Amino acid sequence: MLHNILQFGFAGIAGLCLLGAWLSRAKRGALLWAAVSAGAAAISAHYYVFWSLALFALVIPWALLCAGPWIDMAWRVKAGLTLFIALGSVLCIYPTYHDERHGREEHTGISSEERAELETKAQRGELGFGDFLRANIPFRLVRGLDLKGGLRLVYTVDVDEAIKDKRDRYYDDLRVKLATLMGYHQGEARPTVEELQKLQEKLRIEKARDRADTMTLIFKDRADSEKLTDEALQQFKAEMQVLWSSDLKTATFRIRDEVESQIRERAVSQAKETVERRVDALGLKEAGVTTRDEDIIIEVPGEDERAFDEIRDIISQTARLEFKMVDDDSDFFEPIARSQKREDLPKGLDFRIENAPIGPNKTKPNYYALMLRGEHEDMRDALKRLQDWVATLQVPQDNEVGFSKYVEYDEERDVFEEIGWRTYFLFSKAEVTGDMIRDAQAVPDQGDRGMGGWYVRMELTPVGGDRFEEITGKNIKRRFAIILDAKVESAPVIQTKIPGGIATITMGAGDVQQQLEDARKLELVLRSGALPAPISLSNEQRIGPTLGRDAISESFKGAIGGGSLVLLFMLVYYRRAGVIADLAVVFNLFLQVAVLAMFGASMTLPGMAGLALTMGIAIDANVLINERIREELRAGKSPRAAVDVGYDKAFSAILDGHVTTFITGLILAQYGTGPIKGFAITLIIGIAVSLFTGVVCTRLMFDWAVRHRKVKKLSVGIKTPASV
């Protein structure tokens, strides 16, 4: 309904402006400008393009002002620009004003589909004009932690894991190189698992368990080591040191210190960017994300427990997605199950047998370990016990043990229940990784099973799609494990080669609503990107306003009182010129708040200090202008000449003062952190706005007096031959 009103209303304005342009030749340009803007606004309303609608709607008063008879076109254009900026500022500040006065509408107690439907209706204007504006303007100026309180989370990035990933990639590349040098592999295609396993006849590659940056190559025969020439090692020496033993049978590869430092810095920087994307996707634009050494600090102002719980869940998901083949040809757990006595095993650990597929029409019985959780034990604790036990086993270098939730159907309650964790014996090489994902989407399961569940459909990049097709083509009737955050989500059997670069992750067999929530969270983290290294929550604080409610109230009273005294002084000392200065200062503060709201900033105590400082700078600019005008009036110049000369002479001093303060703000913003950076950003915005209001806006008001009203006397606070 609202869009129809806007559409036809702006179309009517466009028609009236066109009629006016046809009737008035002198005002034709400005009226045609207004007509085009109104027509564009009508089209934007028709196609539900909010910001285009807002922009063109705000241009209409600007164009109509230019069609007026006041002073000259240059003055009208500047006055129209000021009006455009003022109305735009009102638009930007309105959602913040409403939320601070009435609270933000959270739509709690309803499903996500109902919430999305309400948001869509609000964005289309079906719920009223106020909801229409608030739904389409996503940014808000919110109070920071020191003024409002909130949640502070500190996550530590496991940079050693990022270094280990780099080492493991070189491990795979080195094995490929050695398979070629030893004559086990030829051509451009990747070596097969069988070809790589033949390397064990001549050498052994060990990845150091206690050092994430080191691997060791041990040859059985020195003659084989001579094949690994400097030319063959060229691709490794740029980032790794290679140290040979005295008998030239052992080579130690270690990542260089400078490369390791780069990996650490890049891991923290990429983790911060990924966390920011996830926070933004949650709609928590007011949340602040900063880094300190290897920590990522997230500060969320407010008291919204639902938002706090959601942000914890989303951020904690590393989203390290990998596809690895299950090594069902090797029954790793069989000798362990037969040799270990039951009383020597951890409580709840058992071994079971399954028929594992190892090719077309081929299966073999394989053992796997199952850790049942205790009666009152958390699933995470049960997983930790299983991982601790597996860590005592001698797992081959080319393999690893994966862990997956074990689910059983409870007939009495008609639900699937997680009862423990099971193992998968995997190849350690990831065939497809999360960085090969281009898009992800939560999709309802509408297959023949009719389960009514949800899964996540992933679209791979061209490289990932080709690799996925190659792997599935070579491993038909074998299991392909999908691993998310070091846990095996599923291990489906490859039925046929899968072209097209499409893969799916099922959400288990639990409650449908829970599947939906899990699928959407996974969709969000996969779209925002996987973290380059795991992160762990090292500190969490629920904090109240550090200033205290009484102190905040008194601070606001002090700010209002101090500002009022400054405005009163200007009014008393400069009289009507002081009124102009006061209007410019108030407009300055108004514009600063609008700009901060547009950036979704958090207002903190240092930010308020920045506002107070720019208020003083704005007053100082007006003092310079008024004093220059006074001097010209004392010299006997007319009011119009005094205004022209006064602004010309004051401008250089105003510009110098603003530029030097602006440079200081840039330096603080570049090297400062936390409160200092917040102060600097507010100061920079205030300086830019102050130059506009202090020079342009006040000049418009003075020109209105001396050029339109053509006053004979200017009231600047003292009695001169040209003043009262």
337 and 453 both lie in a single domain: yes
CATH number assigned to the domain comprising residue 410: 3.30.1360.200
pLDDT digits (tens, 9 = 90+) for 402-448: 999 898 877 777 677 888 999 999 998 888 887 787 777 888 876 64
Q: Is residue 141 scored above 60 in pLDDT? A: yes
Residues paired with 282 in a beta bridge: none
Domain's final residue, options 540, 568, 598: 540
567 lies in some domain = yes
Note down the domain range covering 691: 549-708
Percent of the chain scored above 90 by pLDDT?
23
CA distances for 495 relative to 325, 479, 512, angstroms: 14, 9, 27
Per-residue confidence band for 685, with pLDDT thresholds at 50, 70 and 90: confident
593 and 666 both lie in a single domain: yes
Distance between CA atoms of residues 724 and 719, nearest Å: 5
CA angle 701, 705, 710 (to 5 degrees): 155
Burial class (CB within 10 angstroms; exposed 0-12, middle 13-18, buried 19+) of 679 = buried
Q: Is residue 675 scored above 80 in pLDDT? A: no
Per-residue confidence band for 3, with pLDDT thresholds at 50, 70 and 90: confident
Q: Is residue 158 scored above 90 in pLDDT? A: no
527 and 391 both lie in a single domain: yes
Contacts of 19 by beta carbon, 8 Å cutoff, 6+ apart: none
Domain's final residue, options 512, 540, 568: 540
Q: Which residue has the tokens 């948001």?
A: 119
**pLDDT given at position 515:** 74
- pTM listed for this prediction: 0.58
90 and 205 both lie in a single domain: no
Q: H-helix or E-strand containing 482?
A: strand 480-484
Per-residue confidence band for 98, with pLDDT thresholds at 50, 70 and 90: confident
pLDDT digits (tens, 9 = 90+) for 516-571: 777 776 776 666 666 777 788 888 887 666 555 666 677 677 778 877 888 888 88
Per-residue confidence band for 217, with pLDDT thresholds at 50, 70 and 90: very high
**pLDDT given at position 63:** 93
Segment among 104-113, 568-577, 686-695 with least mean pLDDT: 104-113
Contacts of 204 by beta carbon, 8 Å cutoff, 6+ apart: 217, 218, 220, 397
101 and 15 both lie in a single domain: yes
534 and 554 both lie in a single domain: no
Per-residue confidence band for 222, with pLDDT thresholds at 50, 70 and 90: confident
Distance between CA atoms of residues 387 and 401, nearest Å: 9
**pLDDT given at position 18:** 92
Distance between CA atoms of residues 589 and 90, nearest Å: 12
298 lies in some domain = no
* Tokens linked to 343: 């009383």
330 and 393 both lie in a single domain: yes
CATH number assigned to the domain comprising residue 615: 1.20.1640.10
* Tokens linked to 342: 């039951």
Edge-to-edge, what's the strand order for the sheet holding 250-255?
Answer: 203-207, 214-219, 250-255, 240-244
Segment among 69-83, 203-217, 270-284, 474-488 with least mean pLDDT: 270-284
Question: Would you tell me how many other CB atoms lie within 10 Å of the CB of residue 145?
Answer: 21
595 and 639 both lie in a single domain: yes
Provide the mean pLDDT of the chain: 83
429 lies in some domain = yes
Edge-to-edge, what's the strand order for the sheet holding 487-490?
Answer: 432-433, 321-325, 480-484, 487-490
350 and 483 both lie in a single domain: yes
**pLDDT given at position 382:** 92
Distance between CA atoms of residues 624 and 630, nearest Å: 10
**pLDDT given at position 683:** 84
Provide Rg for the chain, Cα atoms: 35
**pLDDT given at position 401:** 95
CA distances for 581 relative to 25, 566, 701, angstroms: 38, 11, 10
CA distances for 177 relative to 238, 655, 688, angstroms: 16, 65, 59
Q: Is the dihedral of CA 348, 353, 355, 359 positive or negative?
A: positive
601 and 669 both lie in a single domain: yes
Is the model more confident about 483 or about 675? 483
Domain's final residue, options 484, 515, 540: 540
290 lies in some domain = no
Per-residue confidence band for 722, with pLDDT thresholds at 50, 70 and 90: very low
Residues paired with 371 in a beta bridge: 349, 421
Domain tally, the chain:
4
Helix/strand number for the chain, H first, E second: 23, 21
Instruction: Indicate the residue type of 178.
Output: L
265 lies in some domain = no
pLDDT digits (tens, 9 = 90+) for 331-367: 999 999 888 787 788 888 999 999 999 888 889 999 9
pLDDT digits (tens, 9 = 90+) for 14-34: 999 999 989 888 888 999 999
Distance between CA atoms of residues 652 and 625, nearest Å: 11
217 and 347 both lie in a single domain: no
Burial class (CB within 10 angstroms; exposed 0-12, middle 13-18, buried 19+) of 466 = middle
Q: Is residue 511 scored above 50 in pLDDT? A: yes
282 lies in some domain = no
**pLDDT given at position 536:** 82
Phi, psi of 78 (to 5 degrees): -65, -40
Instruction: Indicate the residue type of 716.
Output: V
301 lies in some domain = no
pLDDT digits (tens, 9 = 90+) for 310-322: 777 777 666 677 8
171 and 134 both lie in a single domain: no
**pLDDT given at position 301:** 74
